[in-house]
Structure 1
Amino acid sequence: MVLVDGARHQLDLIGAEAARRNVPIHIVIDLIHVLEYLWKAAWCLHTSDDPAAEDWVATHALALLAGHLDHVVATIDARASVIGLAPERRTGVDARSVPPGTSRWR
Structure 2
Amino acid sequence: GIYYLKRGDYTRAEHALSEAIEIAQKSGESASVLQAALARVYIAQKRADAAHRQVQIALRDRQITDGSKADLYAHLAHFYLTVGDHLQAKHYAERAYDFAWADGYP
Task: Identify the structure with bigger relative contact order (alpha carbons < 8 Å, sequence gap 6+).
Answer: 1
What is the TM-score when the length of structure 1 is the normalising length?
0.33
Larger strand proportion of the pair: 1
Is the radius of gyration larger for structure 1 or structure 2?
Answer: 1
What is the TM-score when the length of structure 2 is the normalising length?
0.33
Larger helix proportion of the pair: 2
